[in-house]
């Protein structure tokens, strides 16, 4: 089967299909190459003091205070994730701003998601400070602790960023 171009040249349909397949392959190849416009990201860790107000499955109110608890944070310009005590919290930045560079990151605001919280931090290769507060407006989240279910109603994680733990990409 042949197809006719505007200039009068005739090309076989198989040749055209081959050209389209080649262009589609190039499009897929270049679509998977990261660009400089990608959202920059960073991570840092340290030890924190954690204050928790929760409620047990039996209705008892629990107040916990823990010191020197390791934590790790991952951030982008539009989100933050916190991992501590085997729990992961965080979400997209609903309001506020985060600035990330290879020399450091700083920011603050309100996070949306399943555990809404407020956070603020400054981190660099030489250290810094971090604070994340989930209070009142959060519906809470539950986990198992010593054989009972504990629902966290308020949680404050604050501490220092350990020197040498800050790294940034992008």
Q: Each residue of 86-98: pLDDT tens digit? A: 777 778 888 899 9
Q: Is the dihedral of CA 59, 135, 130, 76 positive or negative?
A: positive
Asked if 123 and 161 count as a contact pair (C-beta separation under 8 A), the reply is yes
Do 77 and 18 reside in the same domain of the chain?
A: no
Asked if 148 and 123 count as a contact pair (C-beta separation under 8 A), the reply is no
Do 49 and 18 reside in the same domain of the chain?
A: no
Per-residue tokens: 138: 């959060």
Count structural domains, the chain: 2
Do 66 and 145 reside in the same domain of the chain?
A: yes
Do 22 and 47 reside in the same domain of the chain?
A: no
In this predicted structure, what is the pLDDT of residue 135? 67
Do 48 and 25 reside in the same domain of the chain?
A: no
pLDDT at 127 over 80: yes
Ordered DSSP codes for 70-127: EEEEEEETTEEEEEETTEEEEEEEEEEEEEEETTEEEEEEEE-SSS-EEEEEEEETTE
Residue 102 lies in a domain: yes
Do 70 and 12 reside in the same domain of the chain?
A: no
In this predicted structure, what is the pLDDT of residue 57? 81
Do 81 and 27 reside in the same domain of the chain?
A: no
Range of the domain at 109: 41-169
Measure the CA–CA gap between 7 and 1, rounded to whole angstroms: 18
Asked if 72 and 85 count as a contact pair (C-beta separation under 8 A), the reply is no
| 22-75 per-position pLDDT tens digit | 333 323 333 333 334 467 899 999 999 988 888 888 888 888 898 998 999 999
pLDDT at 143 over 80: no
Do 19 and 49 reside in the same domain of the chain?
A: no
Residue 36 lies in a domain: no
Residue 85 lies in a domain: yes
The CA distances from residue 151 to 27, 49, 55, 57, 63, in Å, are: 49, 19, 5, 8, 12
Q: Is the dihedral of CA 91, 122, 83, 48 positive or negative?
A: negative
Asked if 134 and 115 count as a contact pair (C-beta separation under 8 A), the reply is yes
Q: How many residues does the chain have?
A: 170
Residue 106 lies in a domain: yes
pLDDT at 80 over 70: yes
Residue 83 lies in a domain: yes
Q: What SS3 class is residue 160?
A: strand
pLDDT at 6 over 70: no
In this predicted structure, what is the pLDDT of residue 114? 64
Do 109 and 130 reside in the same domain of the chain?
A: yes
pTM of the model: 0.67
Do 18 and 84 reside in the same domain of the chain?
A: no
Do 152 and 91 reside in the same domain of the chain?
A: yes
Do 114 and 62 reside in the same domain of the chain?
A: yes
Residue 27 lies in a domain: yes
| 151-169 per-position pLDDT tens digit | 878 888 899 999 999 999 8
Per-residue tokens: 106: 């700083």
């Amino acid at each position: 089967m042949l197809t006719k171009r505007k200039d009068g040249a005739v090309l076989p349909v198989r040749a055209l299909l081959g050209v389209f397949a080649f262009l589609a392959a190039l499009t897929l190849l270049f679509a998977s190459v990261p660009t400089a416009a990608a959202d920059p990201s960073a991570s840092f860790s340290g030890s924190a003091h954690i204050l928790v107000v929760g409620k047990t499955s039996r209705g008892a109110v629990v107040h916990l205070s823990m010191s020197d608890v390791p934590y790790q944070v991952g951030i982008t310009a539009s989100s933050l994730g916190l991992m501590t005590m085997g729990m992961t919290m965080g979400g997209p930045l609903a309001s506020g701003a985060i600035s990330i560079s290879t020399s450091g990151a700083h920011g603050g605001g309100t996070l949306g998601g399943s555990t809404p919280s407020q956070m603020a931090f400054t981190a660099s290769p030489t250290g810094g400070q971090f604070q994340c507060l989930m209070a009142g407006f959060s519906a809470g989240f539950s986990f198992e602790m010593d054989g009972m279910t504990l629902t966290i109603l308020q949680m404050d994680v604050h501490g220092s960023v350990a020197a040498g733990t800050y790294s940034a990409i992008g």
